[in-house]
Amino acid sequence: MLNIVLLGPPGAGKGTQAELIVKKYNIPQISTGDIFRANIKGGTELGKKAQSYMDKGELVPDELVVDLVRDRLNQDDCADGFMLDGFPRTVFQAEELDKMMKERNLSITKVLNIEVEASKLIDRIAGRRVCRSCGATYNINTKPTAKEGICDVCGGEVYQRADDNRDTVENRISVYNSQTAPLVEYYTKAGNLATINGDQPMDSVFSDIVKVLGE
């Protein structure tokens, strides 16, 4: 069973690698960012609460995130493993995740820490485009769609996220450095951190991940 956490700054390639991991290992991807965006689109209470934080590039408060992840991990499709993308993002969230795992007699198999230099993240995020229907990730520079504005996978509309503008991005990177980067030490101490060089072509990053997770 694989219980994976993807760690890394915004733009490191978590979502991109998640798509590949899901296909190969057949485990569900749990992206807290995707869940919040779906709630904003659906006009839910949670979406309304999360939106103002996301627009500024701040983290959504822990208490809005933790219960949501606990509920998601309780669903049947997580029984044989899962991959968390974008959670935990604070030491508090990591401690809560440890408790959830303990309650289930489970553990986190690997934390994949995808590293990319800060200077490259900003260009990656500025070029990011996402499918509104299926969530597939593209990049106008490094991974364009075959037809402009149309998702290769599902034919949906491809758009730029509201928070993928240069002002917000800089704040998101500094929020990452102050609130999320301490998790590198947290999981190094726990003994399950694997560092992945994210500054390579996407398929090379993925083959390094497969080396860590096993065929």
Binding site for Zn ion (CB under 5 A): 131, 133-134, 136, 151, 153-154, 156
Sign of CA dihedral 76, 187, 114, 33: positive
CB of 100 to Zn ion, least distance (A): 31
Cβ at position 137, least distance to ligand ADP in Å: 4
Query: What are 207's two structure tokens?
Result: 């083959």
Our finding on whether 135 is near ligand ADP (CB under 6 A) is: no
Exposure class string for 168-187: b at 16+ Cβ within 10 A, else e: bbeebbebbeebbeebbebb
Is 54 an interacting residue with respect to ligand ADP (CB under 6 A)? yes
CB closer to Zn ion out of 51 and 145: 145
CB of 12 to Zn ion, least distance (A): 22
C-beta closer to ligand ADP: residue 105 or 186: 186
Classify each residue of 35-65 as buried b or exposed e, where b means 16 or more C-beta atoms within 10 Å of its C-beta.
bbbebbeeeeebbeebbeebeebebbeeebb
Among 3, 4, 21, 33, binds ligand ADP (CB under 6 A): 33
Cβ atoms of 163 and 80 within 8 Å: the answer is no
Give how many residues touch ligand ADP by CB under 6 A: 34
Of residues 79 and 154, the one with the C-beta less far from Zn ion:
154
Q: Residue 202's closest CA among 136, 156, 109, 157?
A: 136
* Beta-sheet strands, E only, within 2-108: 2-7, 29-31, 81-85
DSSP state for residue 105 in the 8-state scheme:
T
- Catalytic site positions: 14, 89, 128, 161, 172
Residues lying near ligand ADP in the complex (CB under 6 A): 8, 10-16, 32-33, 36, 53-54, 57-60, 65, 86-87, 89, 93, 124, 127-128, 137-139, 142-143, 172, 201-202, 205
